[in-house]
Amino acid sequence: MKTPAIFISLLSVLLSSYLFASPLGETQLSSTIWLRDFVTYYKPPFDEDGEFSHTNFYIGRGYLRLDHRFSEHFGGTFLVNVLTDDSYYTSARVELKLAMASMNISDNFRIRAGIIPTEFGLESMWKYRIIPLSLAGDRRMIPSTDFGVDVTFRPVDNFQMIAQITNGEGYLHYNHAYMNEYPAISLDMRYLGDSMVFGVSGVLEKDGVYFEYDDERLNRFVVEPFVEYDFGIIDLKAEACVGNYDQFDSDNVAFGFMVASIFPINPIIEPVARFDIFKPDMDIEGYREIQILGGANIYIWRSEEAVFKPCIVFQPQWRMTDYEEEGMNSEHDIMLQLQINMESNYF
């Protein structure tokens, strides 16, 4: 979907910022770098010998972010990502991942426009203490950012609603041949407690499932209830997802759930664990994927003022994916990541 109104809105917000706010304001710079080495091998069930597949050292994230506040009511954000991966044929890929203006009408009402983050379930508060994305993000059921507009409303202190109208295909797919004619409409509702956050997110896009070799389009939908509870000695996260979202393979409805835990036992070592079950197609009996992940976050340096940022942390983690289908071997990933997070004070 191509929406000139989105960019007209963005221009209007920026113009309002300059007309009604301080001409200078204040700026914050931040950066996030992921240095990764992933080793993958395959192992048949009940067989001690595994088959090495490949190793891949690359930059998974090279964020440079600029946040500028013209006043307490107006601001803007730009985020550029420079990364390397095997999907690009030159030395690096450059992505414009955020480019948005934000207008805080009041403490309980906010409007954003441009390339905005997708506010959906656990993905919007993941913080990457576990290397793979949340279930909905890892399975590409939702994009991380997209072109659009959103409104945040808090009718009471502990309850928040975010409504978004976006292209639906994600920030990398602007003006592609398979762009949908209709916008994606999403709603995220959550309770924000001192130690618990829970809620439900949903997105619906008319004729949003596109098949590369077929003119047929189906409605795309994804629904996710989620919860995060901090017990003090353990941070527990859980979500379930159901959705018709696949753009290239079939008109399948997928279902999965995830449970993850983080144990901040001391300021240096933080063990992590995760368990996923995912059925790519609910119509296929007996086929599902099971993932088990374990590892730790080892903090080389961290700020006392933040939980996970700014910091330097080494993340050795292991993940096994078992496919309940005859002839498919389990996949094992040894994931080593050095995550460096930096941010300046506002100046």
**pLDDT at residue 201 in the model:** 98
Q: The pTM is what?
A: 0.86
**pLDDT at residue 121 in the model:** 95
pLDDT category at 46 given cuts 50, 70, 90 is very low
25: left (phi over 0), alpha (psi -120 to 50) or beta: left
Apex CA 134: angle with CA 197 and CA 287, to 5°?
120
Determine whether 316 is exposed, middle or buried from the number of CB atoms within 10 Å of its CB (0-12, 13-18, 19+).
middle
- For residue 88, what are the contacts with CB-CB under 8 A and spacing of at least 6? none
**pLDDT at residue 174 in the model:** 72
Q: HSE on the CB side for 103, CA within 13 Å?
A: 19
**pLDDT at residue 246 in the model:** 66
Is the pLDDT confidence value at 32 over 90? yes
Fill in the amino acid letter for 324: E
Is the pLDDT confidence value at 3 over 70? no
- For residue 139, what are the contacts with CB-CB under 8 A and spacing of at least 6? 241, 254, 256, 278
Apex CA 253: angle with CA 251 and CA 255, to 5°?
155
Phi, psi of 168 (to 5 degrees): 105, -25
Q: Enumerate domains of the chain plus CATH numbers.
A: 4-343 (2.40.160.10)
State the residue for tokens 């490949």.
Answer: 54
pLDDT digits over 263-302, tens only?
998 889 999 999 999 998 888 777 889 999 999 999 999 8
What is the share, in percent, of the chain residues with pLDDT greater than 70?
A: 82
pLDDT digits over 120-158, tens only?
999 999 989 999 999 999 988 999 999 999 999 999 989
For 286-342, the DSSP string reads: T--EEEEEEEEEEEEEE-TT-SSSSEEEEEEEEEEEEE-STTPPEEEEEEEEEEEEE
- Report residue 169 as tokens: 């295909």
Q: Which residues pair with 311 in a beta bridge?
A: 302, 341
Q: pLDDT higher for 236 or 90?
A: 236
pLDDT digits over 160-183, tens only?
999 999 998 888 877 666 677 889
- Report residue 121 as tokens: 């379930």
pLDDT category at 94 given cuts 50, 70, 90 is confident
How far, in Å, CA of 278 to CA of 252, rounded?
Answer: 13
